[in-house]
Each structure stands twice: as structure tokens, then as C-alpha cells.
Amino acid sequence: MPSTAEELHKDKKLTVEEYFALEEELNQKFEYVNGEIFDMTGGSINHSLISSSAVASLIFSLKDKPCIVLNSDAKLYIDHVDSYFYPDAMVVCDENNISDKYVQNPEIIIEVLSPSTEGYDHGKKFAFYRLIKTLKTYIMLHQDKPLAEVYQRNPDNSWLLKEYSGLEQVITIDDKVQLAMADLYRQVNLDSH
């Protein structure tokens, strides 16, 4: 007998309305990709610490900029693929891209990598994120070591990867946004892996 909503609906494509109703009925988050739903499983303590620190660091860095920082409770809609995701952190700088149910067109997205989602976050999910014309920076943070993979969009629409390894590094997104690795990995138990 199927135990999750994902298993119950694996052979049926859901409409967006059914997806929203299912989340409300079960009071649970699912990512929605072209009619299929995917369970948002709970993360580790390290995952939670890093994502919380990322949100706090972004809020501090952007305090003088007219942008909002959202955590993983905010749903991201990508209209090109009619899909919804829950990034660990994102920055939206145009209030017209914010509705009661979801946001669109972020400039920055951060995902904390989990062993079960790392391949997906690098591959298919990043391919979806690249369809967002406003997205300038995609950051993937490893939870077992202080390592950040930072992809930044070039003017020609190509992406440049820069890795930041070690607690002494500072991720520089632009003149105003700098994220210290020591802050992102504050209180994270790096010896547990």
C-alpha cells in the first residue's frame, strides 16, 4: 500500500489546482514538475543550520537594497516548465514577482546539497533554474564540508562556475552581496561525516 502522496499519484499527472489542493489537504510541501509531484523530505540538522545561515547572511547583505530574501517555505514558480520548487533560499528584487501563493523570477537561488538530492540539484533542477531570465546566481552549498559551488550568469547567457572551499573564503556575488563561508557554516558539525 502506498504510503506517500508521491506514491499515490505516481501514475497520474496532477493539474496545478490538484497540486495546490493536495499540499493544503496534507499540510505538506511537494515540488511539482510538469504534473508530477515529489516529496520534500526533512533535512539534516546541518542542512537546516546552513540554509538558516544563508537566509540570515543574505538579509544582512541586502539590507540597503530593495529585495526580499525568502526561505524554503516560499514556493518558486517557473512558468517555462509549469513547475514549482522550494529552494532553500532565494532573493527576489521586484515586488511584481510576489503573490500570495508563490514567487517568480528570483535573482539568487541557494540550495543546500543533500546526498539524496545532490545529483538532481546539479542536473535537472539547475537546468530548470537556468530558464529563469532574471536568475544571476545559483549557489550550491555542501553540508558535509565548507564548499560552495557558485554559478554566475554571464552577459552572453553562459554560466561561470567558481568554487569556494574553506571557512576563510568569502563568496562575492556583486559589490553589495558577500557571504562569508564562516558565517554560512557557523555551528555546523563538519566532523559528523
Give the 3-state secondary structure of residue 46. Answer: helix
For the entire predicted model, the pTM comes to: 0.90
Report yes or no: 86 and 72 within 8 Å, Cβ to Cβ: yes
Cell readout for 161 is: 562556475
* Per-residue pLDDT at 5: 53
DSSP H/E element including 60: helix 45-61
Type of residue found at 83: S
* Per-residue pLDDT at 3: 43
* pLDDT block averages, 10 residues each, the chain of length 193: 48 88 92 90 85 96 92 94 95 92 96 82 89 96 95 95 96 88 92 56
Report yes or no: 91 and 104 within 8 Å, Cβ to Cβ: no
* Per-residue pLDDT at 122: 82
- Domains of the chain: residue spans and CATH: 1-40 (no CATH), 44-72+85-192 (3.90.1570.10)
* Per-residue pLDDT at 165: 96
* Per-residue pLDDT at 193: 47
Cell readout for 181 is: 563561508
Report yes or no: 181 and 168 within 8 Å, Cβ to Cβ: yes
Q: How far is CA 84 from the centre of its chain?
A: 11
